[in-house]
């Protein structure tokens, strides 16, 4: 279940309320079920996946990719697998843990674990959204945001791209004021 934390401390857990709060940014969030497939569940339970296993996972979820290809022109997808065993994980994540924008939409479908997206809202306030399994998020191009892992430091997410360059961060220099892992 997604959790949106506003800068004033307000928490939202209902997808409708979260969508309303993020509407001024044109952020889309949705729930997409992961197939009830025994092999897929086995793969998702593993910390790391080799390239063949990643491709198996992607193929099992390609109905969503096909939908995005037809409705929004997405051209490629990949599977990012992040966990505590990855050498230099903190250094790898540091480039996204600053307020930045992209020239392309940032689209992720979290299928295991969780991560946090932070946003600068039109009024200058900030909010953080914890995205969990079976949640799809589309952060439109040009949206000021940041991204980091929760303390569990584990996420598997399908990323969808319109361009082949991927997401190149353009840093804004603004400071993150709300950053803090959500307490549960």
Q: Is 12 annotated as a binding residue?
A: no
CB 92 within 8 A of CB 103: no
DSSP track, 110-126: EEEE-EEEEEE-TTS-E
Q: Any residues with CB less than 8 A from the CB of 118 and at least 6 apart, and which?
A: 99, 126, 127, 128, 129, 145, 146, 147, 148, 176, 178, 179
Strands 3-6 and 11-12 turn out to be: antiparallel
Does 145 carry a binding-site annotation?
Answer: yes
Tokens of 41: 């569940």
The tokens describing 126, both together, are: 């900030």
**83 among the known binding-site residues?**
no
Query: Is 102 labeled as ligand-binding?
Result: yes
Tokens of 53: 């296993």
- The pair phi, psi for residue 109, each rounded to 5°, is -125, 105
- Report the binding-site residues: 100, 102, 106, 145
- Report the binding-site residues for Ni(2+): 100, 102, 106, 145
- Report the binding-site residues for Fe(2+): 100, 102, 106, 145
């Amino acid at each position: 279940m997604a959790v949106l934390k506003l800068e004033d401390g307000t928490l939202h857990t209902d997808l409708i309320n979260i969508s309303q709060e993020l509407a001024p940014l044109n952020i889309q969030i949705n729930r997409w079920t992961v197939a009830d497939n025994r092999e897929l569940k086995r793969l998702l339970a593993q910390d790391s996946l080799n390239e063949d296993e990643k491709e198996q996972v992607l193929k099992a979820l390609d109905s969503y990719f096909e939908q995005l290809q037809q409705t929004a022109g997405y051209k490629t997808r990949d599977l990012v697998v992040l966990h505590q065993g990855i050498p230099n994980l903190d250094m790898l994540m540091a480039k996204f843990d600053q307020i930045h924008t992209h020239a392309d939409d940032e689209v992720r479908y979290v299928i295991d674990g969780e991560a946090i997206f932070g946003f600068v809202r039109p009024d200058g306030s900030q909010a953080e959204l914890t995205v969990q399994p079976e949640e799809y998020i589309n952060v439109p191009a040009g949206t000021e945001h940041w991204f980091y892992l929760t303390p569990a430091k584990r996420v598997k997410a399908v990323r969808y791209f319109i361009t082949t360059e991927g997401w190149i961060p353009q840093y804004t220099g603004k400071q993150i004021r709300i950053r803090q892992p959500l307490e549960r």
